Amino acid sequence: MTSKSRSVALAAAVSATLLAVATAAAAEPREVRIASHVSELAPLHAQSQLFAEKIEERLPGQFEFKLFPGGQLGKESALIDNVQLGTIEMINVASGVLKVDAKLGVFDLPWLFSSRDHVRAAMAAGLEAEIRTRVEDRAGVKVVGVYENGFRHVINSQRPIATPADLEGMKVRISGGKFRQDVFASLGAVPAKVAWGETFTAMQTGVVDGAEAAIYGFYGQRMHEVQDYLSLTSHVYTPSFLLASESFWDSLSEEQQSVFAEVGREITAQAYAQAAEMEARYLEEMRAALAVNEVDLEAFQAAVAGVYESYTEAHGTAWLELVNGSRPGS
């Protein structure tokens, strides 16, 4: 073999090797992280798992999803910052998203929804489309799905809460911003600022009489072991948001973007059903350890009617009309 022939053969071999390496690299699934601030017991984790499973069915072998629940990659505010910066591909979060624009505070209005069916009807009637657009415009992220974080209730050691008067003087650990603190204070409760991880001990020692949270939060922290009453106040409903960074979204092919968007919407009904099933299962286990009661919804709604006036003065009535028009029996 001549020197020229050897060079040609060597070049061909190198090209073949590089092509093989490139092909192998192209076949490697792309890692996608989905992080959340809540535990594996939360509906948000189940939603992330469901989304990952459905994408694998539609785009087999193209992605490797890695889930990071429980604040492993940061608290909710940090996760939102990072998905906006593009330093994480996807997150599934809740109330923190509402802070990106004051109009989204509609979900902080107390006793806005009467039931999960009411939520779903309002979302289907156009509320979901409105908040998707609002979040994308204000936060600079891609909203892949809007699901459920759930209704919040009150657990305590003092008495059942059936009417606003039952909150009088009760020291309650309350999350959220000043708005929610003020609502509880207006009902006679004494809002207490305690870190969520310290709330169980605060209950044991009497620093607080109770706390407000979603059912999965009480269950995950085993609060039913140190409290006596769980009142299903349903005072606030919070959606969950499956978000993708714009840089990650833009890096996907048109086919991949289409499938992500389709799956994000297609799993909505199943995500709601999962959340309802999880809540019912946790609640059933907790019933053995404490008393559970319903509340006089209309009495609470009447007691906080003034709160709605301040919201509509700033943001109009369109969203509230949409919600009220979707109320079962309206």
Is 2 a domain residue? no
- Judge whether 135 lies within some domain: yes
**C-beta of residue 164 within 8 angstroms of C-beta of residue 184:** no
Domain presence at residue 111: yes
As a whole number of angstroms, the distance between CA 117 and CA 135 comes to 23
Residues 6+ apart with CB under 8 A from 139: 80, 84, 97, 100, 101, 243
Query: Phi and psi (nearest 5°) for 231?
Result: -105, 125
State the CATH number of the domain containing residue 263: 3.40.190.170
Find the domain containing 46 and state its range: 13-271+278-325
- Whether 7 maps to a domain, the answer reads no
CB neighbours of residue 18 within 10 Å: 10
Is 8 domain-assigned?
Answer: no
99 burial class (0-12, 13-18, 19+ CB within 10 angstroms)? middle
Q: How many angstroms separate the CA atoms of 196 and 213, rounded?
A: 10
Q: Is residue 6 part of a domain?
A: no
Number of folded domains in the chain?
A: 1
On whether residue 266 sits in a domain, the answer given is yes
Tell whether 248 is covered by a domain. Answer: yes
pLDDT tens for the chain, 330 residues long, are 554 454 445 444 445 444 433 344 456 999 999 999 999 999 999 999 999 999 999 999 999 999 999 999 999 999 999 999 999 999 999 999 999 999 998 998 999 999 999 999 999 999 999 999 999 999 999 999 999 999 999 999 999 999 999 999 999 999 877 778 888 998 999 999 898 889 999 999 999 999 999 999 999 999 999 999 999 999 999 999 999 999 999 999 999 999 999 999 999 999 999 999 999 999 999 999 999 999 998 899 889 888 888 889 999 999 999 999 999 876
